Structure 1
Amino acid sequence: MTIAQQERTAVGPHGFELSVTSGFERYSVHHGELTLTSVFQPIFSLSHMRAVGYEGLLRAHDALDRPVSPLDVFGQAARLGEVLQVDRLAQALHLENFKVLGAEREWLFLNVHPGALTDPYHSAALLANLRRLDISPRRIVLEVLEQRAEDIERLADAVRQFRERGFLIALDDFGAGHSNVERIWQLNPDIVKLDRVMLSHAAHRADMAAILPGLVALLHEAGKLVLIEGVETEHEAQMALACNADFVQGFFFGRPNPGVADSVQAAQCIGELTDRHRIQTEARERQNAARLAPYVRAFERAAERLSAGEALDEVCWNFLALDHAARCFLLDANGRQSGSNVVLRADRAAHETRFLPLADAQGANWLRRPYFRAAIAAPERVHVTRPYLSINEAMPCVTLSVVTRIGGETCVLCGDIDWLDEERI
Structure 2
Amino acid sequence: MIPVSIREIIDKRQFEHVYQPLWDLFNWSIFGYESLLRVKGINNVEHLFQKAREEGCLYELDFALLESSIFQFPFLENKGRLLFLNVYPSTILHHEFKPFLNRVIERFPYIKNRIVFELNETKEEEDIWGDGELKARIKLMREYGFYIAVDDVGKGTSALQKIIELQPDYVKLDRYYAQELAADEEKQKMVSLFLRYCDRQMALVLEGIEKEVDLAQAKLLKVPAAQGYLLGKPDKLT
- Provide the TM-score with structure 2 as the length reference: 0.85
Residues 1:238 and 2:213 are matched in the alignment: no
Return the alpha-carbon distance in structure 2 between the equivalents of residues 205 and 112 of structure 1: 33
Residues 1:80 and 2:58 are matched in the alignment: no
Tell me which of 185, 204, 209 is aligned to 1:226.
204
Cα deviation, 1:25-48, whole Å, max 9, x if unaligned, reads xxxx94378820111111110112
Alignment partner, residue 97 of structure 1: 72
In the alignment, structure 1 segments of 5+ residues that lack a partner are 1-28, 261-425
Deviation of residue 130 (structure 1)? 2.7
SS at match of 2:210: coil
Deviation of residue 183 (structure 1)? 1.1
RCO higher in structure (CA 8 A, sep ≥6): 2
Deviation of residue 255 (structure 1)? 0.8
Alignment partner, residue 361 of structure 1: none
Residues 1:145 and 2:120 are matched in the alignment: yes
Change (3 A) 1:78 1:245: same
Change (3 A) 1:205 1:46: closer
Change (3 A) 1:180 1:132: same
Return the alpha-carbon distance in structure 2 between the equivalents of residues 36 and 154 of structure 1: 31
SS at match of 2:163: helix
Change (3 A) 1:101 1:113: farther
Q: How many residues align?
A: 227
Deviation of residue 153 (structure 1)? 1.8
Residues 1:71 and 2:46 are matched in the alignment: yes
Q: Is the 8 A contact 1:226 1:247 kept in 2?
A: yes
Deviation of residue 155 (structure 1)? 1.2
Alignment partner, residue 144 of structure 2: 165
Return the alpha-carbon distance in structure 1 between the equivalents of residues 117 and 28 of structure 2: 23
Alignment partner, residue 38 of structure 1: 17
Which residue identity lines up with residue 76 of structure 1 in the other structure? K
Change (3 A) 1:123 1:100: same
Q: Is the 8 A contact 1:171 1:179 kept in 2?
A: no
Map 1:132-281 to 2 at 5 A. Answer: 132-147=107-122, 148-150=126-128, 151-177=130-156, 179-200=158-179, 202=181, 205-220=184-199, 223-259=201-237
Change (3 A) 1:59 1:80: same
Q: Is the 8 A contact 1:175 1:194 kept in 2?
A: yes
% same residue? 26
Return the alpha-carbon distance in structure 1 between the equivalents of residues 145 and 13 of structure 2: 34
Greater strand content: 1
Q: Is the 8 A contact 2:32 2:83 kept in 1?
A: yes
SS at match of 1:176: coil
Residues 1:115 and 2:98 are matched in the alignment: no
Cα deviation, 1:314-368, whole Å, max 9, x if unaligned, reads xxxxxxxxxxxxxxxxxxxxxxxxxxxxxxxxxxxxxxxxxxxxxxxxxxxxxxx
Return the alpha-carbon distance in structure 2 between the equivalents of residues 178 and 87 of structure 1: 26
Return the alpha-carbon distance in structure 2 between the equivalents of residues 88 and 144 of structure 1: 14
Which residue identity lines up with residue 109 of structure 2 in the other structure? D
Cα deviation, 1:74-108, whole Å, max 9, x if unaligned, reads 12212222221111111011011114773222111
If you compute each CA radius of gyration, which structure gives the higher value, 1 or 2? 1
Which residue identity lines up with residue 248 of structure 1 in the other structure? A
In the alignment, structure 2 segments of 5+ residues that lack a partner are 1-7
Which residue identity lines up with residue 256 of structure 1 in the other structure? P
Return the alpha-carbon distance in structure 2 between the equivalents of residues 79 and 136 of structure 1: 32
**How much is the aligned-residue C-alpha RMSD, in angstroms?**
2.3
Tell me which of 38, 41, 57 is aligned to 2:36.
57
Deviation of residue 169 (structure 1)? 1.1
Cα deviation, 1:365-416, whole Å, max 9, x if unaligned, reads xxxxxxxxxxxxxxxxxxxxxxxxxxxxxxxxxxxxxxxxxxxxxxxxxxxx
Alignment partner, residue 4 of structure 2: none
Change (3 A) 1:128 1:34: closer
